[in-house]
Structure 1
Amino acid sequence: MYMTQGLHRSVQQNPDAPSTVFGDRTRTFAETADRVARLAGALQRYEVARGDRVAILALNSDRYSELFLAIPWSDAVFVPVNVRWSSAEIIYSLNECGARVLFVDENFASFVPGLRAECPQLTTVIHCGEGQAPEDMLDYEDLIASAAPVPDARRGGDAPAGIYYTGGTTGTPKGVMLSHDNLAASAMGSAATGDFVDPGGRFLHAAPMFHLADGAAWCAQTVVGGTHVMVSSFSPAAVLEAISAEGVTSTLLVPTMIGMLVGHPGAHEYDTSSVRHIVYGASPMSESVLDKAMALFPNAGFTQAYGMTELSPVATLLLSEDHHHPVRRTSAGRAAPHAEVRIVDAFDEEVPRGTVGEVVSRGDHVMLGYWNRPEATEDAVRDGWMHTGDGGYMDDDGYVYIVDRIKDMIVTGGENVYSVEVEKALAQHPAVQSCAVIGLPDETYGERVHAVVVPTAPGAVSEAELREFCRERIAGYKTPRTVEFRDALPMSGAGKILKRELRRSTAPA
């Protein structure tokens, strides 16, 4: 398959149906196809050739969606840039992948002089935001208006479609090369469950479009011929207003976003009855937040997706019916239709059911490799199996339970403690809004279990209360020896808690 295939199908079958909705701007499939063909022509006019990398530094918009189509239409490779990165991190990624062209909106135009100075291969910068383009940049709409449409390259299969940089939670970001087939396999496998997107439905892009979680949803929605609705960035009010106004049927959110939605004053005053599917992932969601979300979206089924960028990104899915099961709802689900999943030991041998090992996955969704890092690729993908670095176990019915990042396992007094188990216990307390558990050096025990908690209100709960609460639910050696309260947890652009940052900012005493 190839990235633009769904657009061609929609133009053939529903040319006048809405393709994108962004604010007051709605464009049909026919309009989108014409604009994409012209934009691809403009890229080729500026000597973008097969395999060239074209970067995007922008918030969500209908133009972002057009770029996901126009760049492969021109036979180039898109590189979505993390909008939460510093200039230094952006410069690193642009130089490493050799991006020659950058699309930037008004929110990041001020970065451009510094990027030009530090990225000598960056020859063309195109302003894709609202308003007039700065003098040192080309204007997106002017390019479309002046360019002639060109034929679609239609080069799919194993050809690279995009390079997604990992969030850098474990060090220097790596460029994950994903092919057209990688992205199509993950999208179609997820869509095949019926719990992801609906043909002709309306998908709300509220999570950042630079991240592959939302990118995978974009692929699935494009394949089934639905409408893309965008808000520039997440806010509870913007999301609820878009759902109510546009009749949104599906969306993807991280648990922190869902928690903000259910806690938004007046949330139940919005009409959310159109929503049929809510996909979430990146981190576990507490059962209390899940119950509140089910009440806020009474007609929606909830699906948890587990995976990673290297898996395009879906490996397992916890479908809507499983969310009503008292045990399975705490799992990450079972292997998605396009994936094979195993739990293996240090010798890559499958372990017995119920035994903790490393989660590995195999299938057409496994990445092509890391950009310019063959050794890292060989270490991660062995005999076709992507090694996730996540520790987990599988039950007799194939449900996978994630217990921790293997490197994050805490060894205290000779006992193994998985932070997820402690976090689940803490999250059951009504005064805990969010939490993270890490291991800190300890002279007596080697490591001690340390909890960082964001309370629902200042002073809503004490350290002693939380320790006693946990002791009633988990073993004593798993109970946090120390508890720290904060206003917020450090988060990546994908909504993952940055435990590396927590360790750096937490005193070891």
Structure 2
Amino acid sequence: MQITSVLRRAAQVNPQGAATIFKDRQQSWLNLLDRVARLAGALQHVGMKPGDRVALLSLNSDRFIEYFFATVWGGGAMMPMNIRWAPPECAYALNDAGAGILLVDDAFVEAVSAFQTEVSGLKTLIYCGDGDTPEGMLNYEDLIASAVPVPDAGRSGDDLAGIFYTGGTTGFPKGVMLSHTNFYVGGISNSETLDAKDGTVYLHAAPMFHIADLLWFMAITFAAGTHVVIPAFTPEATLEAIATHRPSHVLLVPVMLQMVLHSDAMKGADTSSLKLIAYGASPITEGLLKEAFEAFPGVRFLQAFGQTELSPVATILGPEYHVIDGPNAGRLRAAGRATRVCEIRIVDAEGAEVPRGEVGEIAVKGPITMLGYWNKPEITAKTLRDGWVHTGDAGYMDDEGFVFLMDRIKDMIISGGENVYSAEVENALSQHPAVATSAVIGIPHEKWGESVHAIVILHPGASATPQDLMDHCHTRIAGYKCPRSVEFRTEPFPLSGANKVLKTELRKPFWDDQDRQIS
């Protein structure tokens, strides 16, 4: 099972078909194959060895897709970076992974200077933008033009394909290691469940570094379809791309879907090419779904639930269950049923399966499960047990195998489709001199699903305003992780018998009127 074999097949069965469309650039599958082999040679020439991590910090583009395939073609491992990270987070991930090569586009050239000196192993910077090449960087197009296509390095199976950083329970991001098998099996499964038939046209509107969009890299390539790319999501840019390039498929996480529906650009927009809208990354409300059904008549909807550790899809709620009436009605609150390439159990604290209808932790097993966390064997052992990934999500399964999400076992918040670990925010808050301790929780938010809320106890005699603490966090962590609200307390936090903060108690006042404890 080899990622690059899927690209070779696409170039074989649809050589002159449009592979990528980005702004005024369009290329065929045959041309993409040639550029990938050349870029792989260029990366080897500048020092990439088998298994080396090659990072990319970039907005969406056709070059992102070339990087995805070329890195593994040349024997390396990809490492797409979160474009919303603060400089300390970028430096941490690059140092943790030991990345020696970084590709960067126009949007992040200046940002690199803020962390470059903190990354001792970073030896080569490649500029993949469209302007003048900054001093000290190599030019992406020049490298491809001067490179000789190299043979596929032949890495496959359980060989490392990439490291994908997600939030950390210890206050620092952790790198999920995914293999060639993970991507290959996931690609086959996703191509089928997402109904990506030959010639499917998919619009990359979601950020490409995010695993929710990365799953489409393989699915659409399996179908030898077309990747239409816009640099970044806005409702206006998305609707314009739909009207211009006529995609049949698009992924819109709930907050993106809501923004599209409520945009002035939606009035009179031509979305007639759309056949399927997929969503995921965070739960969705029935009200938003019903609004979308009315706005996109004739379009099928599909939900995918999973996480980076699962490459990333574990369950699918298909279009046949996105209905208001009929025998399949009543499933809109479900996360779906296990895909054809994994097994799901609902387990108790000891890992034993619980009866149908009883709430427990969702655990997943199959060829989509990660290799583990990079350089974190202890955390890997806690999450990956006997081949089962313990997701940290609480839910139940009904008698027909439908999984329903109810809560989170780990201290994670999902805001606008992005994972936020409480420990990361608490770690940033702890570095403010006025803060004695803090507890960060997710509270309901109409637009973002959940909002990051900090409850803070200050040192005796110290003072700080909510805005002081929010501004401080923005210098340490990505903006989406920063508290949207801060409250101060003087009384100690409620503690368990093991002296851990009982966040369930802190969350209760905010969630008492909700039918589930996540949003």
TM norm structure 2: 0.80
Cα separation, partners in 2 of 1:158 and 1:455, compared to 1, 3 Å: closer
The correspondence for 1:374, drawn from 345, 366, 377, is 377
**Identity %, equivalent residues:** 48
SS of the aligned residue for 2:21 comes to: strand
Task: List per-residue Cα deviations over 1:359-412 (Å, max 9, x = no partner).
Answer: 000000000000011111111111110000110000010000000102469xxx
1:337 aligns with 2:340: yes
User: Are 1:128 and 2:128 an aligned pair?
Assistant: yes
Match of 1:444 in 2: none
> Post-superposition shift, 1:185?
1.6
319-328 or 342-351: which moved more?
319-328
**Whole-angstrom CA distance in 1 between matches of 2:443 and 2:192:** 39
Aligned residues: 437
The verdict on how the C-alpha distance between 1:506 and 1:302 changes in structure 2, with shifts beyond 3 A counting, is farther
Residue identity opposite 2:354 in structure 1: V
Counterpart in 2 of 1:228?
227
What secondary structure does 1:343 align onto?
strand
For residues 122-174 of structure 1, what are the alpha-carbon distances to aligned partners after superposition, in whole Å with 9 as ceiling and x for unaligned?
A: 11000001112112100000101111111111311110101000034873110
Q: Give how far 1:12 is off.
A: 1.1
- SS of structure 1 residue aligned to 2:256: helix
| 1:327 partner letter | G
- 1:106–1:129 contact (8 Å) kept in structure 2: yes
- Is residue 396–residue 403 contact of structure 2 (8 Å, CA) maintained in 1? yes
CA–CA distance in structure 1, aligned partners of residues 253 and 117 of structure 2: 36
DSSP-derived class of the 1:299 partner: coil
- 1:156 corresponds to: 156
Q: CA 1:13–1:151 in 2, change beyond 3 Å: closer, same or farther?
A: same
Letter in 2 for 1:178: L
Contact 1:38–1:144 (Cα < 8 Å) also in 2:
yes
Distance 1:352 1:452 in 2: 30
CA distance in 2, matches of 1:92, 1:245: 40
Q: What's 2:198 paired with?
A: 199
Q: Which residue of 2 aligns with 1:291?
A: 290
Q: Deviations over 1:436-466 (max 9, x none)?
A: 9x9xxxxxxxx9x99554489xxxxxxxxxx
Shift of 1:335: 0.4
**Aligned 8 A contact 2:239 2:265 in 1:** no
Question: Which residue matches 2:388?
Answer: 385
Change (3 A) 1:156 1:394: same
SS at match of 1:36: helix
8 Å CA contact 1:283–1:496 kept in 2: the answer is: no
| Shift in CA distance, 452/307, structure 1 to aligned 2, threshold 3 Å | closer
Q: Judging changes above 3 Å, is the alpha-carbon distance between structure 1 residues 38 and 360 closer, same or farther for their aligned structure 2 residues? A: same
SS of 1:39 mapped into structure 2: helix
- What SS does the corresponding residue of 2:233 show, helix, strand or coil? coil
The 2-side partners of 1:154 and 1:361 are apart by: 29
Unaligned runs of 5+ in 2: 423-438, 449-472, 491-519
Contact between 1:174 and 1:371, CA under 8 Å: does it hold in 2? yes
Distance verdict in 2 for CA 1:496–1:224, change over 3 Å: farther
Aligned partners of 2:487 and 2:192: how far apart in 1?
44
User: Hey, what's the Cα distance between the residues in 1 that align with 2:313 and 2:479?
Assistant: 16
Task: Supply the distance in 1 between the matched residues of 2:292 and 2:446 (Cα, whole angstroms).
Answer: 20
Deviation at 1:177, TM superposition (A): 0.3
Q: Does the 8 Å contact 2:91/2:116 carry over to 1?
A: no
Equivalent position amino acid for 1:255 in 2: P
1:91-110 pair list within 5 angstroms: 91-110=91-110
Q: CA RMSD in A?
A: 2.6
- Asked whether 1:9 is paired with 2:12, we answer no
1:279 matched to 2:278? The reply is: yes
Alignment partner of 1:356 is 2:362: no
Q: In 2, Cα distance between the equivalents of 1:318 and 1:76?
A: 35
Q: Structure 2 matches for 1:400-479, cutoff 5 A?
A: 400-407=403-410, 452-454=444-446
1:505 is matched by which residue type in structure 2? V
Greater relative contact order (CA < 8 Å, ≥ 6 in sequence): 2
2:313 partner amino acid: V
AA in 1 matched with 2:374: W
From the superposition, tell whether residues 507 and 401 of structure 1 become closer, same or farther in structure 2 (CA, over 3 Å).
Answer: farther
**Paired residues of 1:253 and 1:280 also in contact (CA < 8 A):** yes
What is the deviation of 1:97? 0.2
Which residue of 1 is the match for residue 171 of structure 2? 171
2:486 corresponds to 1:505: yes
- Structure 1 portions without partners, runs of 5+: 410-418, 424-435, 439-446, 457-489
Stretch of structure 1 that moved more, 270-279 or 339-348:
270-279
Distance 2:236 2:184 in 1: 32
Structure 2: distance between partners of 1:338 and 1:10: 23
Q: Is the 8 A contact 2:169 2:411 kept in 1?
A: no
Q: Deviation digits for residues 40-70 of structure 1, max 9, x if unmatched?
A: 1111111211000000000000000100011
- TM-score by length of structure 1 reads 0.81
1:484 corresponds in structure 2 to none
Match of 1:314 in 2: 313
Aligned partners of 2:255 and 2:447 also within 8 Å: no
Distance in 1 (CA, whole Å) between partners of 2:315 and 2:170 is 23
Q: For the residues of structure 2 that align with 1:365 and 1:86, how far apart are their CA atoms?
A: 30
Secondary structure at 1:219's aligned position in 2? helix
Are the equivalent residues in 2 in contact too, given 1:262–1:289 (CA < 8 A)?
no
Q: What letter corresponds to residue 50 of structure 2 in structure 1?
A: R
1:235-260 CA-partner distances (Å, limit 9, x unpaired): 00100111111110111121000000
**Aligned equivalent of 2:433:** none
Are 1:347 and 2:350 an aligned pair?
Answer: yes
User: Aligned partners of 2:120, 2:221: CA distance in 1, in Å?
Assistant: 35
CA contact (8 A) 2:38 2:147 kept: yes
2 CA distance for matches of 1:352 and 1:115? 50
Show the 5 A alignment for 1:65-104.
Answer: 65-104=65-104
Aligned pair 1:261/2:260, yes or no? Answer: yes
Q: Return the alpha-carbon distance in structure 1 between the equivalents of residues 293 and 303 of structure 2.
A: 13
- The corresponding residue for 2:497 is none
Distance 2:171 2:302 in 1: 30
Measured against aligned partners, the alpha-carbon deviations of 1:265-300 in whole angstroms (never above 9, x if no partner) come to 141412111111211111111122112222332232
The separation in 1 between residues aligned to 2:197 and 2:268, in whole angstroms, is 25
CA drift of 1:309 comes to 0.5
2:341 partner SS? coil
**Is this contact kept in 2: 1:334–1:398, CA < 8 A?**
yes
- 3-state SS of 1:47 partner: coil
- The answer to whether residue 21 in structure 2 is matched with residue 31 in structure 1 is no
Question: Partners of 2:176 and 2:2 in 1: how far apart?
Answer: 18
